Amino acid sequence: MRRSPNEIAVSSRRITRRAFLLGTAQLGIMGVLGYRMRQLQVEESEKFKLLADENRINERLIPPVRGLIFDRDGRPAAINTPNYRLTMTRDQAGDVETVLADLQKLIAIEDDQLEKTRTELKRRSPFVPVIVAQNLSWEEFSLVAANAPVLPGITTEVGFTRRYPLGKNLTHVVGYVGPVSDFDLSRIEDPDPLLQIPRYQIGKTGAEEKLELDLRGKAGIQRNEVNAAGRVMRHLDRTEPTAGSEIQLTIDTKLQNYVLARLGDISASCVVMDTTNGDLLAVASTPTFDANLFVGGISVKDYNGLRDNKFGPLRAKAVQGIYPPASTYKMITALAALEAGVITPTEQVECKGHIEVHFNKFNCWNRGGHGKMALQQALMKSCDVYFYELAQRLDNEDFANMARRFGIGVRHDVPLSAVQRGVAPDNAWKVESKGERWLLGDTINASIGQGFVLASPLQLAVMTARLGSGKIVNPRLVNTVDTIPQPSGVVGDLDVNPEHLALVQKAMFGVANRRAGTAYGTRTIWDKYKLAGKTGTAQVSRIRTAADRNNANRPYHLRDHALFVSYAPFDNPKYAVSVVVEHGGSGGAVAAPIARDISLFAQMGQVPPVGAYPKNVRKKVASEQSKIWQHLDDLDTIGTTDQA
């Protein structure tokens, strides 16, 4: 059928329009492609060149050398020693099992370690080195190096591992390092790439943990050219790492060593503080352990032994332990009463052995009573009833504010693990923590350092340093960082009437040097070294029967804690000492002799001569010293003692 000319014209116009549209679309697509090609080849060429370089250039972190830690006299407390180790690269080893078998013939490697190596080799890329053995002796290391030609894929390397040359002496202060764990990484918002390195070690406890950023240093970078498989083809450049800072602590290792020896194996703690600048000279907790056990990975047997020890060697009791301060708190009560004007130094209170308040009976430790006495005698004899009377005249806020002024209920800023705040309780604290309002009975208990009041040995040392010096002295553990001295711990004068403070100081002197004092039996007879102090016996459980009054009749965990705080010399205070013996019993009988000996050692710089003690105790002291010498480490400056 023939189409008409008109139909042919219409059809032609349609074809021409479609061809135009199709051609336009093709030109548009070609234009976009051309523009994009121009962008990629001209405008973004540098970007893709950089990406290509990154694909062929590999950057490897170079771990820095960890900073060293020293005591105040320059003795090394934490050092780095060579770590002779072996690594294996799978793609160079060929038959891995044959190489491992040959290696095991040369040196002793446990089967479980080899199994870990096999697992790690499977997880890692073939060209990534995996540690096979470490902490080898020089002989083992040399033997493998000499047989390197027949051990394909095995490489000998020298790294560093942490070591603590002072052993048990500073474990609870310096702490220890260990491999980075998933838990460690979860606590850090922006982890340092160094922490991703397998088996990289960081501080876990003590100063090692709290000063981690100073001690870690900064990583270096090794840039290598790699092929498509990731194998290193050549080294391009290297930025050296920056070693960690050198830290000098305020700890006197000689004194610390003596303190640990004097405490022995009992569950106890002691803090010695310089009252003139806040330096912590000794921070000791017993029993202790050797931190070197943890560096290479402690055995299950050793760890269980430490964990299950009822005396808690893993606890840094000097800063982590909090205890009722008992009668060592009575200086706080006395000053609160004097400052509030509710008692005068000469006003007397009669002690009949107990008082009754709202039908509740509060006993004095001396059930027979002390009779009438003023403040100074009440402190010397540690009369509870006298302080019960003060409690009824005071608002509890007076106690709490005075306690905080002297460092109780304050978390002191020292780089140690789990430093406790303690409790200086008041109504707001009880409502928040117990959901109950404050009662008069709470105030009475708090007046003698019982009830809700809790303090650490560190806080008791701070309190005593402030009592002796009249200054706001804060504890200080770091002496220098990279030889740069750190600020002094003295920040100003105490806001306490000097006359009131002098009265309390005189009473503390009487505690240790007057016949009526509760620590008179543990005095020193040399005037140059006389101390001022206060005993404390912290009740742990309620006394329900007459038999319970004898501490030895109770189960160990229900026995009283023994406490003593002191500063010396009395006329020019230099050393503040706090001692807590867990479940030790009487503060005067147990803690006071320990604190006296430590105070004498701190002042003399050596084991105290028996001539510094009253004649009636010299035989006992000599016997104790013979046991102490068996525990003392062979430090070059322990000092000698005159046994005459």
Which residue did the predictor score with more confidence, 230 or 589?
A: 589
Of 190, 214, 249, the one marking the end of a domain is 249
Mean pLDDT of all residues in 587-612: 96
Whether pLDDT at 28 is above 80: no
Q: Are strands 354-357 and 360-363 parallel, antiparallel or unpaired?
A: antiparallel
Q: Are residues 258 and 212 in the same domain?
A: no
The mean pLDDT of the chain is 88
Q: Are residues 272 and 232 in the same domain?
A: no
Q: Are residues 391 and 496 in the same domain?
A: yes
Whether pLDDT at 279 is above 50: yes
Q: Are residues 210 and 277 in the same domain?
A: no
Whether pLDDT at 228 is above 50: yes
Residues whose CB falls within 8 Å of the CB of residue 334, separated by 6 or more in sequence, listed in order = 375, 378, 379, 387, 390, 503, 504, 507
Whichever domain contains 489, its CATH number is 3.40.710.10
Is 552 a domain residue?
Answer: yes
Closest C-alpha to 579, from 554, 601, 607: 601
Mean pLDDT of all residues in 155-170: 89
- pLDDT confidence of residue 19: 67
Share of the chain above pLDDT 70, in %: 89
Residues whose CB falls within 8 Å of the CB of residue 548, separated by 6 or more in sequence, listed in order = 541, 554
274 token code pair: 């310089």
Report the Cα–Cα distance between both ends of the chain, in Å, rounded. Answer: 145
Q: Are residues 101 and 130 in the same domain?
A: yes
- pLDDT confidence of residue 10: 59
Q: Are residues 516 and 497 in the same domain?
A: yes
Give me the DSSP letters along 542-594: ---SGGGGSGGGS-GGGSPEEEEEEEESTTS--EEEEEEETT---IIIIIHHH
Lowest pLDDT segment from 31-35, 88-92, 289-293, 576-580: 31-35
Spatial separation of the C-alpha atoms in residues 276 and 574, rounded to whole Å:
6
> Are 171 and 291 spatial neighbours (Cβ–Cβ below 8 Å)?
yes
- Buried b / exposed e across 500-512, counting CB within 10 Å, b at 16+? bbebbbebbbbbb
Q: Cα–Cα distances in Å, from 535 out to 103, 240, 602?
A: 64, 57, 20
How many folded domains does the chain comprise?
3
- pLDDT confidence of residue 642: 42
74 token code pair: 């320059």
- pLDDT confidence of residue 226: 66
Q: Are residues 181 and 293 in the same domain?
A: no
- pLDDT confidence of residue 5: 66
Q: Are residues 187 and 268 in the same domain?
A: no
Spatial separation of the C-alpha atoms in residues 148 and 62, rounded to whole Å:
25
Which residue did the predictor score with more confidence, 628 or 545?
A: 628
- Sheet holding 57-62: strands in order across? 57-62, 220-226, 232-239
User: Around Cβ 41, how many Cβ atoms within 10 Å?
Assistant: 10
80 token code pair: 């780095």
Q: Which DSSP state fits 520?
A: G
Q: Are residues 470 and 331 in the same domain?
A: yes
Mean pLDDT of all residues in 357-385: 93
Rg of the chain taking only CA atoms, in angstroms: 36
Spatial separation of the C-alpha atoms in residues 327 and 591, rounded to whole Å:
13
Is 19 a domain residue?
Answer: no
Total count of residues recorded for the chain: 644
Q: Are residues 145 and 179 in the same domain?
A: no
Is 144 a domain residue?
Answer: yes
Is 29 a domain residue?
Answer: no
Q: Are residues 227 and 353 in the same domain?
A: no
pLDDT band, residue 62 (cuts 50/70/90):
confident
> Are 568 and 529 spatial neighbours (Cβ–Cβ below 8 Å)?
yes
Is 527 a domain residue?
Answer: yes
Whichever domain contains 215, its CATH number is 3.90.1310.10
Whether pLDDT at 370 is above 90: yes
The model's pLDDT over 481-512, given as tens digits with 9 standing for 90+, comes to 999 999 999 999 999 999 999 999 999 999 99
Whether pLDDT at 90 is above 50: yes
Is 40 a domain residue?
Answer: no
Spatial separation of the C-alpha atoms in residues 176 and 186, rounded to whole Å:
20
Q: Are residues 386 and 472 in the same domain?
A: yes
Winning range, highest mean pLDDT, from 57-61, 79-83, 336-340, 356-360 = 336-340
For residue 24, the SS3 value is: helix
CA torsion sign for 28, 32, 35, 41 is negative
- pLDDT confidence of residue 314: 95
Of 159, 190, 218, the one marking the end of a domain is 159
| CA 561 to chain centroid | 23
> Are 115 and 184 spatial neighbours (Cβ–Cβ below 8 Å)?
no
User: Which H or E run includes 369?
Assistant: none
- pLDDT confidence of residue 159: 79
Q: Which DSSP state fits 179?
A: E
User: Which H or E run includes 474?
Assistant: none
Is 607 a domain residue?
Answer: yes
Whichever domain contains 139, its CATH number is 3.30.1390
Spatial separation of the C-alpha atoms in residues 351 and 516, rounded to whole Å:
15
In which domain, by residue range, is 129 found? 83-159
Of 97, 131, 159, the one marking the end of a domain is 159
- pLDDT confidence of residue 641: 43
Is 28 a domain residue?
Answer: no
Whether pLDDT at 608 is above 60: yes
Whether pLDDT at 544 is above 80: no
